[in-house]
Amino acid sequence: MADRDPDCLFCKIVAGEIPSEIVFSNDHVVVFRDANPKAPTHVLAVPRRHVASAADLTDADGDLLAALFGAMRRVAADVGLRGYRIATNVGAEAGQSVFHLHFHLLGGRPMSWPPG
Ligand code: AMP
């Protein structure tokens, strides 16, 4: 898989071609605010490299996952969240609408379980 998919919305956000409110970024990861937030804090953590979903990760992606979770840990701490939820939808049947791996980080309100 190429590092970038020219038709991918989140690749365009990563490249700065579509505006977003970025709250954290480094060489591997960008975290930006969800355009349709479902909680007072709702950000998306994405790899800079195009990966379609969690189903497309490989055993070589351990460092990338550590970078993604490290970025989310840092954002949650900066916001002062005491509890939060991290979720990723895999495939249209699970509700995935953008096919570039992203972890939803939601917080700032009570969470119920199970999700719909
Ligand atoms: P999912 O349905 O799990 O694939 O999540 C995709 C998320 O991307 C949704 O929560 C959308 O609100 C969000 N989203 C779509 N377009 C944008 C955008 N341009 N900027 C920020 N978030 C977006």
CB 93 within 8 A of CB 38: no
Going by alpha carbons, the residue nearest to atom 13 of ligand 1 is 34
Q: What value does the mean pLDDT take over residues 12-32?
A: 98
Rounded Cα–Cα distance for residues 45 and 109 (Å): 19
Contacts of 55 (CB under 8 A, 6+ apart): 90, 91
Write down the pLDDT at residue 49.
Answer: 98
**The pLDDT of residue 45 is above 90:** yes
Write down the pLDDT at residue 1.
Answer: 56
Q: What value does the mean pLDDT take over residues 15-27?
A: 97
CB 11 within 8 A of CB 98: no
How many angstroms separate the alpha carbon of residue 114 from the centre of ligand 1? Answer: 21
CA distances from 116 to 17, 54, 86, 103 (A): 33, 20, 15, 17
Going by alpha carbons, the residue nearest to atom 15 of ligand 1 is 35
Domains of the chain, earliest start first = 9-107 (3.30.428.10)
